[in-house]
């Protein structure tokens, strides 16, 4: 049509001009031109958003940078997650809550990792067939089955998906990262740095209120929901930080590094004390008790016999023990001695009695559905009907908004039945056994001691898990599964002692004489690429 001929000629001239311009500039100049155009578009978009007060637009460059980093350095993205987790903030909407930025990062890493596995099909079979991985897969399969039989299928599948974005990146990708054992130090260091920032802020806030005991439960907000999660995170990290403090001082890695390790250790101890979390205190004592037992180098039969004697003694004295606990009327207090004494108060201390109330509800729910349970993640919305009037306390609620079962062991029992309880506990038990095995058969003493101290860190949560439940949150799930990955990486990839060494050495010297150069000697395991 003649009416459109002038417009067509104009468009043709514009195309020719653009094509000739592209031919005159070099490849590098084209790159710079694209970057410049992107910057110009971003500035124009920023002006528009500023006009209408869309301030979230300012996060676009940060998000793009993070996505670029994660896609380019996938295993190392766990270090970014470690740094961001303690400082992450919880955002809630109706029926949905997410910790920002840690959980979006975990989701992105999970998707990219699964995408990579799907198209490359390359992953070390040693990891998949490892006992810890097998126990974890069995537990996840049973979780999937109980999602299908759940009282609330939607809630249960949300629970399963959230567990996957913790386990897949932190454990299955974590083992790949920690093949280079120096990355374990980077992970612990970055997590410790952010956690120390939280400790400093919480301590200053606590001090501004005159260290009033009533404020000890809330001074760590908004980073942690309450003092128990805060104390559990500190307890989990403390043994690993202790290891790196001793290692760096022993090997004179530098004054600044040693000072940084000591400062982190001192801050974490301070935070642990001021958290007033009795469960955290107990768990740390048990963890360092484990160190003593391992260093005694007793036979497995000796431990079994000692445990059997202890169990029989407790069973025979159970009535007397409970009677003594019931007579204890010391409530929680700002006085350290009184606060410790209140641990066994099961008559007047609301925190302790409410915990017993939640456990009683979990047992009642289990008795009603012993095989499949009520479904993953459903306890909070279900247990209210199972509360007995004589078990209720001043802090009891039917809304399920003040915690869940308060136990990593009663939760799967009530939500996933006996198989759920057994498979969940099996993950902990198998990891513990593998950790001891890794310590005993790893040739490099420094790496062996790292395995022991990481196992001590995990032990703090195995103990804490009797009294509280935090693996549904990023604050504890990220370091917990990452440390589990460290144990597995050491067990698989660290050079092992030969049979003669296994039969004769078994660590007779004090532990501080065992620290050598911290590295795996296998040259094939120095890279971080997913195979």
Are the CB atoms for 339 and 387 separated by under 8 Å? no
* Angstrom distance (rounded) from CA 214 to CA 287: 28
Q: In the predicted model, is pLDDT for residue 514 greater than 50?
A: no
Classify residue 46 by its DSSP letter.
Answer: H
Name the residue with higher pLDDT: 481 or 295. Answer: 481
CA distance to 118, 184, 522, per residue, from 484 (Å): 24, 11, 21
Q: Where are the beta strands (DSSP E) in 299-416?
A: none
pLDDT at 525: 47
CA distance to 3, 157, 402, 451, per residue, from 415 (Å): 74, 13, 18, 32
Q: In the predicted model, is pLDDT for residue 45 greater than 80?
A: no
Beta bridge partners of 96: 93
Name the residue with higher pLDDT: 333 or 419. Answer: 419
Dihedral over Cα of 473, 476, 386, 158: its sign: positive
CA distance to 125, 132, 397, 404, per residue, from 361 (Å): 42, 31, 12, 11
pLDDT at 510: 44
For residue 195, the SS3 value is helix
Tell me the mean pLDDT in the region 264-281: 92
Are the CB atoms for 241 and 199 separated by under 8 Å? no
- Match 């958290």 to its residue by tokens: 275
Among 151-160, 217-226, 478-487, name the one with the lowest average pLDDT: 217-226
Among 9-23, 101-115, 248-262, name the one with the lowest average pLDDT: 9-23
pLDDT at 529: 44
pLDDT at 16: 65
Structure confidence at residue 175 as a pLDDT band (50, 70, 90): very high
* Angstrom distance (rounded) from CA 360 to CA 352: 13
Structure confidence at residue 337 as a pLDDT band (50, 70, 90): low
CB-count burial class (<10 Å; 0-12, 13-18, 19+) for 461: buried
Tell me the mean pLDDT in the region 173-201: 94
Alpha-carbon torsion, ordered 292, 293, 294, 299, to 10 deg: 150
3-state percent breakdown (helix, strand, coil) of the chain, nearest 5: 70, 0, 25
Mean pLDDT rounded to a whole number for the chain: 82
Task: State percent of the chain over pLDDT 90.
Answer: 44
Structure confidence at residue 526 as a pLDDT band (50, 70, 90): very low
pLDDT at 438: 93
pLDDT at 17: 57
503-506: long-range contacts, CB 8 A cutoff, minimum separation 24: 506/297, 506/440
pLDDT at 461: 95
Closest CA to 198 of 80, 62, 66, 83: 83
Highest mean pLDDT among 64-78, 152-166, 376-390: 152-166
* Angstrom distance (rounded) from CA 486 to CA 187: 10
Q: Within 10 Å of residue 309's Cβ, how many Cβ atoms? A: 10
Among 15-19, 24-28, 49-53, 478-482, name the one with the lowest average pLDDT: 24-28
pLDDT at 408: 92
For residue 100, the SS3 value is strand
pLDDT at 119: 84
pLDDT at 50: 67
pLDDT at 148: 94
Structure confidence at residue 64 as a pLDDT band (50, 70, 90): confident
Among 27-31, 312-316, 445-449, name the one with the lowest average pLDDT: 27-31
pLDDT at 201: 95
Among 95-104, 129-138, 200-209, 447-456, name the one with the lowest average pLDDT: 95-104
Among 89-98, 120-129, 212-221, 388-397, name the one with the lowest average pLDDT: 388-397
Q: In the predicted model, is pLDDT for residue 272 greater than 70?
A: yes
Q: In the predicted model, is pLDDT for residue 453 greater than 90?
A: yes
* Angstrom distance (rounded) from CA 192 to CA 214: 27
Structure confidence at residue 517 as a pLDDT band (50, 70, 90): very low
Among 13-27, 149-163, 426-440, 478-492, name the one with the lowest average pLDDT: 13-27
Q: Which residues touch 270 (CB under 8 Å, ≥6 apart)?
A: 199, 203
Residues 101-134 as b/e (b if ≥16 CB within 10 A, e otherwise) read: bbbbbbbbbbebbeebeeeeeebeeebeebbbbe
* Angstrom distance (rounded) from CA 73 to CA 169: 13
Structure confidence at residue 329 as a pLDDT band (50, 70, 90): low
């Amino acid at each position: 049509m003649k009416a459109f001929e002038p417009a067509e000629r104009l468009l043709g001239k514009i195309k020719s001009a653009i094509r000739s311009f592209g031919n005159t500039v070099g490849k590098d100049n084209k790159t710079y031109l694209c970057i410049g155009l992107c910057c110009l578009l971003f500035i124009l978009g920023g002006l528009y958003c500023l006009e209408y007060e869309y301030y979230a637009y300012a996060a676009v460059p940060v998000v793009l940078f993070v996505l670029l980093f994660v896609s380019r350095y996938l295993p190392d993205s766990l270090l970014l997650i470690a740094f961001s987790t303690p400082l992450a903030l919880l955002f809630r909407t109706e029926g949905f809550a997410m910790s920002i930025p840690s959980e979006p990062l975990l989701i992105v890493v999970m998707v990219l990792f699964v995408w990579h596995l799907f198209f490359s099909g390359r992953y070390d079979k040693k990891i998949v067939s490892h006992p810890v991985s097998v126990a974890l897969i069995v537990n996840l399969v049973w979780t999937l089955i109980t999602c299908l039989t759940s009282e609330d299928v939607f809630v249960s599948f949300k629970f399963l998906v959230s567990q996957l974005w913790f386990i897949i990146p932190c454990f299955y990708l974590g083992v790949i990262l920690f093949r280079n054992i120096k990355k374990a130090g980077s992970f612990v260091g970055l997590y410790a740095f952010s956690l120390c920032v939280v400790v400093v802020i919480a301590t200053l806030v606590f001090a501004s209120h005159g260290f009033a005991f009533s404020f000890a439960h809330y001074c760590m907000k908004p980073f942690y929901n309450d003092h128990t999660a805060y104390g559990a995170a500190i307890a989990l990290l403390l043994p690993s930080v202790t290891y790196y403090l001793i290692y760096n001082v022993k090997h004179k890695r530098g004054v600044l590094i040693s000072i940084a390790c000591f400062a982190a250790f001192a801050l974490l101890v301070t935070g642990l004390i001021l958290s007033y979390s009795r469960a955290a205190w107990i768990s740390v004592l048990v963890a360092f008790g484990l160190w003593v037992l391992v260093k005694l180098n007793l036979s497995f039969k000796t431990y079994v016999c000692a445990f059997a004697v202890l169990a029989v003694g407790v069973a025979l004295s159970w009535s007397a023990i409970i009677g003594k606990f019931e007579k204890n009327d010391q409530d929680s207090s700002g006085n350290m001695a009184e606060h410790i004494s209140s641990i066994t108060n099961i008559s007047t201390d609301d925190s302790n009695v409410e915990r017993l109330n939640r456990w009683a509800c979990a047992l009642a729910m289990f008795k009603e559905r012993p095989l499949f349970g009520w479904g993953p993640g459903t306890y909070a919305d279900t247990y209210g009907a199972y509360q007995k009037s004589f078990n209720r306390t001043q802090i009891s609620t039917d809304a399920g908004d003040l915690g869940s079962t308060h136990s990593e062991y009663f939760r799967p029992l009530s939500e996933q039945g006996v198989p759920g309880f057994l498979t969940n506990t099996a993950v902990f038990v198998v990891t513990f056994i593998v950790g001891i095995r890794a310590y005993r058969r790893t040739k490099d003493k420094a790496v062996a001691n790292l395995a022991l101290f990481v196992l001590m860190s995990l032990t703090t949560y195995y103990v804490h898990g009797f009294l509280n439940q935090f693996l549904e949150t990023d604050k504890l799930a990220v370091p917990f599964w990452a440390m589990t990955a460290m144990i597995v990486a050491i067990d698989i990839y660290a050079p092992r002692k030969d049979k003669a060494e296994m039969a004769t050495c078994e660590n007779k010297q004090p532990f501080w004489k065992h620290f050598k150069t911290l590295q795996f000697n296998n040259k094939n395991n120095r890279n971080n690429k997913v195979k």
